Amino acid sequence: MPESFRLIGKRLPRIDSEAKARGRAVFAADLRFPRMLHAKVLRSPYAHARIKRIDTSAARRLPGVKAVITGADTAGVKWGVFRYTRDQQLLPTDKVRYLGEEVAAVAAETPEIAQEAISLIKVDYEPLPAVLDIWSAMAPDAPLLHEDHPGNVNVHVAIEVGDLEQGFRDSYLVREDTFTAPEDSYFMTEPYAAVARPGMDGSLEVWMPNAAPHQKAKALANALQMPLHKVIVRKCYIGGAFGGRSDVFPAEFMVCLLALRTDRPVRLVYTREENSLATRKGHGMYVTIKTGVDRQGHVLARDITCYLDGGAYSSTGPIATSVPFLCHEQCYRLPAVRFNGYRIYTNKPIGGMYRVHGRAFASGIDLQLDLLAQELGLDPLEMRLRNARRPGETTPTGSYVQSCGLRECIRAAADKAGWKDKYGKLPPWRGIGLGTNSVQTGFPLGIRGGSAATIKFNEDGGATLISGVVDNGQGNDNMLVQIAAEVLGLEPGDIQLVSADTEATSNDPGAYSMQSTFTGGQAVKLAAEDARRQLFEVAAEELEAHLDDLVAAERKIFVAGAPDHGLPIHKVIRLALLKGKAVVGRGSFAPKVDHRREWMKNPQGQLSETFSFGATIAEVEVDPQTGRVRVLNLVLSQDCGRVLNPLVVEGQWEGGATMGGTGGMITEEHLWSADGRCLNPTFLDYRVPLAVDVPPMQCVFVDTVDPTGPFGAKEAGMSVAMSAAQAIAAAVADAIGWPVFEYPLTPDRVLKAIREKQEHERKASA
């Protein structure tokens, strides 16, 4: 493989930017079809209640109303991401379990009529006592959300490797600390919307923002009891997912049901509030970490107990509960480690996977290392380096790490940030901190873990690439085309992309599992190479050259080093056609993972074929009177194998660091009233950072060129989103000289820590 590429590694504008810049990119809520109906949803005003009766008669009679559905119109089957987490009826028949849960839906000629119809539906509720936090939920006499889950424990992930007792005995220093954070949330700018259109061939087309069209289609097909080939999730532009658009929602199910009932297209558009309450949110977390280190700062043993506030249903519970631990066990060497993760049901909106995957956990791990380092008289940088994962090692739960540039990232970030000149040398109230983490490039998904792509050509040398990969805005469409164009010697503009359409494309695991490039991109690369081989075969014969001497570049196939001894691609295509051979490239790829590995039942074995690693360094300034934190600078570094497009990767890092760090660690949290109402479901009071709140950011690429990844690429971005959170927690602790264990680092929490420190110093000097 040539080390210098035409397109790979270049700063190329994305192929979808123009449509978006023109305002012509069609998102789900932009879709309009003839005779389309508008849907609205009736939601529970109670956090926990039995549904005794639903009277939809007045709603049905309202002129303009074409269909009204409730749980009674469904088979009442419970759905779950896993067979063993089937706990949610997509429209409830007996109970509502969180304030805002769907109870009924209406399709009408106009949104106003639908809204009025909703107000005419009468529901008899019998309110039940609700549990709104993990402790109440786990209390002995707590009301149960799901009868078969005593103690409201939804998921328990138990992992234990090595001899912990010995490890702690051998430790020179042991610390136990508890870190907490309330719910955080995606707040992608596009509110959720879904459109369903019944076809004349018994099919149903569905559009909705999603991070895995094939997974959505499968779940919908099950719920609607239709064959998979008739439930078609179509491609639309998607306004961000960040983990919050992966598993199936009642919304799309309801829209499908309404469309089938009325035999007309139906569109449902969520308000911002509905997007916050009725899709997913990040988990609130309470995590206790006990770590023992030797005199040199090597971690010998670690015991973690983590409680996650899961909300009313399990969603991707086993995954969300495991990932925070798994990221950290990939990142650090851990001779002995124990993890008990409990996801607890509460009568609140449903917890899903969120990009940062547990800011309390991630920040706690690193902050505690800093505290241990302090006691040992070690620089935190050194502490991380000594414990950092190295390539060729195996994680505690049995994943071999085939490429790892973690230490290089740490050093490179430290260089760029001027760590040596700053740590311990900054003026009062300024601090610097380091965060490191690692992210899976995919995880075992059984039969759905692979991706397949096809490339077909036209007689003028242009091509169509067909792939199941979905683009949530992170640039996947561009990545696929860039890869194919590189291999085939074409320009991106020569390739049409058909993607994320379950009618036309083969299965792809989905963007939510961080493997679009590694798996989806790899499949495309293989398809392109397959096509190229077919082109070479035809060209070789014509040119009387050896297959192995041919290259594809500049829209030609030619003998390497002799560009004139070649043929334009369109000529080769035509030659093939004359032989009755259409050149169609096919490629499929599934990562080498241990298919026996299961989140709860068997958390051992190769989790993901490779891992990315990241390090972030944050500099902050704290106002000692108000507690406000200002991030002064962020240095972002990641080993994502190879940076396929620096322009795109930088954008991912900058966005991730802002969401996870500047926002997620300083101002973002959900607040709740005493009866389970979210106090800040909108952009006004859930404070995502604005352009004036964001610091300068520098990106440092560390390429390790993964042996498997396409052109050596792995996951890009999430290691930065997570480590930015950790870096800021560390930096604030450095700035005020006192650790803060509760996140986000809102002014009140920081001020409280400052006062604690002052109190501590007063007592010490007394």
Partner 1 sequence: MPEQERMVFRAEINGDEVEILVRPNQTLLEVLRDELDLTGTKEGCGEGVCGACTVLVDGRPRRACLTLALEADGSRVLTVEGLAPGRELSPEQRAFIEHGAIQCGFCTPGMLIAAHDLLRRGTHPDEAAVRRQIAGHVCRCTGYAKIVEAIAAAARDQEADHA
Partner 2 sequence: MSLPSFSYLAPTSLDEALAAKARLGEAGRWLAGGTDLVVRAKQGLAPCRTVISLRHLARELSGLRPEDHELVIGAMTPLKEAGQHPLVREHLPGLAEALAAIGAETLQQRVGTVGGNLAADTRCVYYNQSPFWRTGMAPCFKLGGEVCHPGGAAAERCRSVCQSDGAVMLTALEAEVELAGPEGTRRLGLEEFYTGKGEAPLALEPHELITAVRVPLRSGEGSAYHKLAWRGAIDYPLVSAAAVVALEAGRVSRVRVVLGAVFAAPLMLKDAVAPMLGAEPEPEAIRAAARRAGSHAEPFIIDNLAAPTAWRRQMVPVVVERALSRAVARAREASGA
Which spans of this chain sit near partner 1 (rule: CB under 8 A)? 11, 13-14, 16-27, 29-30, 32, 112-113, 116, 186-191, 237-240, 242, 269, 271-272, 472-475, 647-648, 650-652, 654-659, 662, 682-684, 688, 690-692, 694, 697
Q: Which amino acid is at 361?
A: F
Angle at 346 between CA 341 and CA 350, to 5 degrees: 85
Among the residue ranges 165-173, 473-481, 507-515, 620-628, the one whose residues contact partner 2 (CB under 8 A): 620-628
Pick between residue 41 and residue 600 the one whose CB is nearest to partner 2: 41
Q: Specify burial of residue 625 (Cβ count, 10 A radius: 0-12, 13-18, 19+).
A: exposed
Q: Which stretch binds partner 2 (CB under 8 A): 12-20, 53-61, 322-330, 681-689?
A: 681-689
Determine, following the binding rule CB under 8 A, whether residue 764 of this chain makes contact with partner 2.
Answer: no
Quick one: 111 or 398, whose CB is closer to partner 2? 111
How far apart, in whole angstroms, are the C-alpha atoms of residue 186 and residue 275? 9
Is residue 651 part of the contact set for partner 2 (CB under 8 A)?
A: no
Q: State the binding partner of 462 from partner 2, partner 1, none, CB within 5 to 8 A by kind.
A: none
Which residue of 213, 689, 712, 717 would you call a contact of partner 2, by CB under 8 A? 689
Q: Using the minimum distance from each CB to partner 2, give the nearer residue, 93 or 271.
A: 271
Q: How far is CA 711 from its chain centroid?
A: 23
For the CB of residue 617, give the shortest distance to partner 2 in the complex, in Å: 23
Query: In one letter, which amino acid is 227?
Result: P
**625 is a site residue for partner 2 (CB under 8 A):** yes
646 binds partner 2 (CB under 8 A): no
Q: Which is nearer to partner 2, 44 or 246 (CB)?
A: 44
Quick one: which of 46, 79, 187, 192 contacts partner 2 (CB under 8 A)? 46
Strand order in the sheet with 562-568: 550-553, 556-559, 562-568
Residue 696 binds partner 2, judged by CB under 8 A: no
Burial (0-12, 13-18, 19+ Cβ within 10 Å), 759: exposed
605 touching partner 2, by CB under 8 A? no
Out of 200, 690, 764, 766, the residue judged to bind partner 2 by CB under 8 A: 690
Residue 732, contacted partner among partner 1, partner 2, none, CB below 5-8 A by kind: none
Please give the structure tokens belonging to residue 145: 């959300």
| The binder of partner 2 chosen from 550, 746, 753, 754 (CB under 8 A) | 746
Tell me the closest approach of the beta carbon of residue 254 to partner 1, in angstroms. 21
Residue 615's closest CA among 357, 418, 434, 440? 434
**3-class SS at 89?**
strand
14 binds, among partner 2, partner 1, none (CB under 5 to 8 A by kind): partner 1
- Of 195, 326, 187, the residue nearest 245 (C-alpha): 187
CA nearest neighbour of 329 among 409, 397, 403: 397
Bridge partners, 311 (sequence order): 345
Given the complex with partner 1, which of 112 and 126 has the nearer CB atom?
Answer: 112
Which CB sits closer to partner 1, 473 or 520? 473
Instruction: Please report the beta strands in 479-625, taking only residues with DSSP state E, as ranges in sequence order.
Output: 495-499, 550-553, 556-559, 562-568, 584-589, 611-622
* Gap between the Cα atoms of 580 and 20, Å rounded: 40
Tokens at residue 501, please? 């359409």
Cβ-Cβ contacts under 8 Å for 349 (sequence gap 6 or more): 98, 100, 276, 277, 278, 280, 281, 311, 312, 678
Q: Which is nearer to partner 1, 520 or 656 (CB)?
A: 656
State which residue, 104 or 188, has the beta carbon closest to partner 1. 188
Residues, the chain: 766
In angstroms, the CA 657 to CA 666 distance is: 12
Residue 242 interacts with which of partner 1, partner 2, none, CB < 5 to 8 Å by class: partner 1
Q: How far is the CB of 631 from partner 1 (least distance, A)?
A: 11
Closest CA to 145 of 311, 308, 274, 309: 311
Q: Which of 93, 203, 680, 698 binds partner 2 (CB under 8 A)?
A: 680
Annotate 304-338 with b (16+ C-beta within 10 A) or e (fewer). bebbbbbbbbbbbbbbbbbbbbbbbbbbbbbbbbb
- Closest approach, Cβ 187 to partner 2, in A, equals 13
Site string for partner 2, 270-299 (x = CB under 8 A): -x-x--------------------------
Q: How far is the CB of 372 from partner 2 (least distance, A)?
A: 30
128 binds, among partner 1, partner 2, none (CB under 5 to 8 A by kind): none
Of 1 and 692, which has the nearer Cβ to partner 1? 692
- Helix and strand tally (H, E) in the chain? 19, 28
111 binds partner 2 (CB under 8 A): yes
Alpha carbon distance 401, 328 (integer Å) = 13
Q: Which of 156, 175, 574, 628 binds partner 2 (CB under 8 A)?
A: 628
The site partner of 758 among partner 1, partner 2, none (C-beta below 5 to 8 Å per kind) is none
Within 8 A by CB and 6+ apart from 394, the residues are 400, 401
Whole-angstrom CA distances from 172 to 365, 551, 620 are 18, 60, 32
For residue 690, the minimal CB distance to partner 2 (Å) is 5
Residue of 2, 21, 52, 115 interacting with partner 2 (CB under 8 A): 115
In the complex, the smallest distance separating the C-beta of residue 192 from partner 1, rounded to whole angstroms, is 12
Residues near partner 2 (CB under 8 A) are 43, 45-46, 100, 111-112, 115, 271, 273, 625-628, 666-667, 671, 673, 677, 679-681, 683-685, 687, 689-690, 692-693, 746-748, 751
